[in-house]
Amino acid sequence: MRILVTGATGFLGTHLCRELRRRGHHLTALGSRQADLTHPDSLSPFASDTYDQIFHLAAWTQAGDFCLRHPGEQWLINQRINTHVLAWWHAHQPQAKLICMGTSCAYDPALPLVEDNYLAGQPIPSLLTYAHTKRMLYVGLLALERQFGLRHLTLVPSTLYGPGYHTDGRQMHFIFDLFRKILDGQRTGNPVVLWGDGHQRRELVFVEDFVRVACDLAPTVDNDLVNVGASEEHTIRHFARLICDQVGYDFDRIQFDPTRHVGARSKRLLTQKLYRLLPNLTLTPLADGLRSTLAWCRDRLVPQTAPTAADQPPTRRPAAAPLPQPRLHALSCRP
């Protein structure tokens, strides 16, 4: 198939493109340098090709308390990105199936995290804007399906982990932060301090499992939203203990700081639909996934020598961390 991928340069996009190529597809792989999607005409150079599928991964976000600090920019940037992709799909590629990434943050934590509840209730306040831009992306897909008969699929992953993450100093998803801090503690003897009391629960999906699922579901499931989770969650303490065992660091030396931002207390996607669609699905065991992630992290996640914005306690009205100059357009505040 001919497939266009936005967000192809990101953590997930890199793995997805590798798997799509391995399956023999012809790819147009776009990062923001090839097409800054905050600009309405950014996809014009690609309109003359005809695509069978479009994977839309591009989004402007980071982990930690980034969403709490940048809600206005996130709304402006992600709404533009999603609107431009949907408009281009409708105008130039209506034959293509559009596969989008949702987020578990879109769910109201008070409700079961089952697909029918994706648009129900309210996401947690610290992730409200990011969550709603993802909900609006899904609403846009439903609207274009209803009026124009376009085909789409939304996949909602829980937190992804694996080799090939970012090493540019941005805020990291919790599991990479655990690796970085514990590796640093083991190397330097510095105290390891983790955010929260350690009893908040999280679910992980190995990124290579997720891309296999995405490639399998993309051609077969139309106009639906599917959670992709591991069906089990663990406390941060459990993840930390497993990493300590693999790294060789004494878990009992870890300190927990309950004053820090931790987000939702619990996040586990219900995955009955996923297993109905892929009854033979087997996922990488957590210890194996962590081992392969650790092998990648060892020489790459360098210790932080100076506190970052993420290390400052959030204030009531946080000033946005300074962002580098936009590359292409005055309105694109790229990190």
> Which ranges of 126-281 does DSSP label H, i.e. alpha helix?
128-148, 174-188, 207-217, 236-247, 272-277
* Smallest separation (angstroms) from ligand NAP to the CB of 116: 19
For 98, 151, 247, the CA distances from 181, given in Å and listed in that order, are 38, 43, 11
Applying CB under 6 A, the site for ligand NAP has a residue count of 28
* Per-residue interface string for the shown chain with ligand NAP, residues 136-175, x marking contact by CB under 6 A: ---------------------x-xx------------x--
Q: Is 202 in the site for ligand NAP (CB under 6 A)?
A: no
| Bridge partners (DSSP) listed for residue 202 | 234
* Smallest separation (angstroms) from ligand NAP to the CB of 210: 9
3-state secondary structure of 155: strand
* Per-residue interface string for the shown chain with ligand NAP, residues 38-77, x marking contact by CB under 6 A: x------------------xxxxx----------------
- CA–chain centroid gap for 162, Å, is 12
Nearer of residues 59 and 294 to ligand NAP, judged by Cβ = 59
* Smallest separation (angstroms) from ligand NAP to the CB of 250: 29
- What whole-number distance in Å separates Cα of residue 297 and Cα of residue 243? 12
| From 9-17, 185-193, 225-233, 299-307, span contacting ligand NAP (CB under 6 A) | 9-17
Number of H helices, E strands in the chain: 9, 12
Total residues belonging to the chain: 335
Residues in contact with ligand NAP by the rule CB under 6 A: 6-13, 31-33, 35-38, 57-61, 81, 101, 103, 157, 159-160, 173, 332
